[in-house]
Structure 1
């Protein structure tokens, strides 16, 4: 652990706003502390393909405001086998890399934990995913930006919904996590929100929509997380239309629009703090941990713990607020 001279940095999994700010912070912190830095392109695939580049302070100039990731990301089937991981290890050691910083979500963390355990290379992970679904941190990189992107879209949809007395179903990302749907829905004044963590029957949704219709609302918006149990926004819209034929029903799928864009101030600062912390934790001899933020304090969580507690509970009062504020 005390012999770290060169740190490899990579991003993996889905891109998230703030990844570039984190790369910038980690690179410059490492250089400041006298370490060399190697960027690994295309994540785990780049380790197998030996797609490495030496990084200096200018390598990360003018990227803090960019969405996506300058180091790219890719899926890697070969890394899932012991033989593939062995090849990756031999390649990074040949390049002089003796520690890793991984930025990504639970798939990235799983690969990093296995890789470090098998080959003994120190690794610190940074939570970079718009879903905000990792245990051990209040916020993940990209979540704030993605939520603001959804809110902006809801505001614009509300304009046309009110003009035509329409019912809009807006589907947002969140296969297993309803964080984006819940927070953006409350901030956007949605009349109902469907979440993966809480099964909502079509009948119960229709009861909520009846209240909205009877209160003479000029527009109605329902936020649907892509992983909710009824089958997604199009299916829910068809079921509701069959029960309320007087509604002019529309569906909007926001999709990958939520991944892009310049990171918010919050995500830039969080990314900078976590990139800085990742380098310092490696130098302190830590490995197989995730750096995160809890109550505005930077914390560390063992990867096994971060991965074994996958369910991030939503606040009960926020779930109740959806009904209360929709009257």
Structure 2
């Protein structure tokens, strides 16, 4: 395959996700394999504006496959949202003679990449790196699997103390707009109930379910609350439930940024490697404004615009039904 592109830069932006380093490694080494000069942009779009762009070789990405976070660092950059900021970023790309850009991140990252690419004609390929799994065009986003495993491990430990003390635990997980982590975690951990941003669930409905469980002699209950639930976070829900339902000693655990860290799972290491490899090949083939994603077991291209569209289909209907059936 003869490259039609000479210099490629890669950056990570927005929230970090386990598996980003696997993707960075694959991007750098795939490009070098094809004779392309490779660059890393430090601290995301901020690095484009400050010209914090450095050449990278195959050894630059040694021994990072197993690491969480991102060796390129990441930052949220308000300046990149402005015309002035994007102009500076473009001039720095020209200064370094970069003619292809791989961006790894979530919806904010892709929104910036779409506008930047359209405005300046920069060839951009996106890799979906977000634990929330809230992008279209890929069944799984980078970091999602690891985050779920982290949540399940924490809930398993909480279940031990909940059973020992007849406790009702409300566990808040990440997901401001997406209930993907909450839904899958609820099935895998055997939670009694799950509250999702996409579904209106009243406190009365939750209390009815908990009352039924208490009547059938459940020794404890776990309720998983996505942080973006319309009735409030775990503390808000717990307070409302406690006012009318005092069968259990009620406790709240906020897992927070614990979910972002840790060594990526084997799934995310392989996914990151596949997506990084595919992103460079897409640039070589002349593609732009596309995202590489996993569909079934195949890597496919989806326009960045489509990737930013509705992703509610990711709440699988059978899992939704199972939350009620299996928690009786």
**TM-score band, normalised by the shorter chain?**
over 0.9
Determine if contact 2:220/2:248 at 8 Å carries over to the other structure: no
Where does structure 1 lack aligned partners over 5 or more consecutive residues? Answer: none
Determine if contact 2:8/2:102 at 8 Å carries over to the other structure: yes
Structure-to-structure mapping, 1:1-327, within 5 angstroms: 3-327=4-328
Determine if contact 1:133/1:312 at 8 Å carries over to the other structure: no
Whole-angstrom distance in 2 between the partners of 1:311 and 1:44: 28
The 3-state SS of whatever aligns with 1:308 is: coil
- Residue by residue, what CA displacement relative to the aligned partner does 1:207-255 show, whole Å, maximum 9, x if unpaired? 1101110111111100000001111100110111111123200000000
The 3-state SS of whatever aligns with 1:136 is: coil
The 3-state SS of whatever aligns with 2:18 is: coil
Q: CA deviation at 1:312?
A: 3.9
Q: CA deviation at 1:178?
A: 0.4
Which 10-residue stretch deviates more, 105-114 or 315-324? 315-324
Whole-angstrom distance in 2 between the partners of 1:317 and 1:31: 44
So what's the TM-score if we normalise by structure 1?
0.98
- Residue by residue, what CA displacement relative to the aligned partner does 1:177-207 show, whole Å, maximum 9, x if unpaired? 0000000111000000000010100110001
Which 10-residue stretch deviates more, 308-317 or 44-53? 308-317
Q: CA deviation at 1:2?
A: 6.6
Whole-angstrom distance in 2 between the partners of 1:323 and 1:309: 25
Whole-angstrom distance in 2 between the partners of 1:14 and 1:40: 16
Whole-angstrom distance in 2 between the partners of 1:27 and 1:317: 39
Give runs of ≥4 in structure 1 deviating > 4 Å.
Answer: none
Whole-angstrom distance in 2 between the partners of 1:34 and 1:159: 54
Where does structure 2 lack aligned partners over 5 or more consecutive residues? Answer: none
| Aligned length in residues | 327
Please provide the CA RMSD for this pair: 1.1
- Residue by residue, what CA displacement relative to the aligned partner does 1:86-145 show, whole Å, maximum 9, x if unpaired? 110001110121110000001100111111111111010000000001001000000000
Determine if contact 2:180/2:314 at 8 Å carries over to the other structure: no
Whole-angstrom distance in 2 between the partners of 1:245 and 1:284: 62
Q: CA deviation at 1:321?
A: 0.6
Whole-angstrom distance in 2 between the partners of 1:245 and 1:178: 27
Whole-angstrom distance in 2 between the partners of 1:90 and 1:306: 27
Whole-angstrom distance in 2 between the partners of 1:228 and 1:32: 46
Q: CA deviation at 1:52?
A: 1.0
Whole-angstrom distance in 1 between the partners of 2:178 and 2:310: 13
So what's the TM-score if we normalise by structure 2?
0.98
Whole-angstrom distance in 1 between the partners of 2:242 and 2:7: 60
The 3-state SS of whatever aligns with 1:250 is: strand
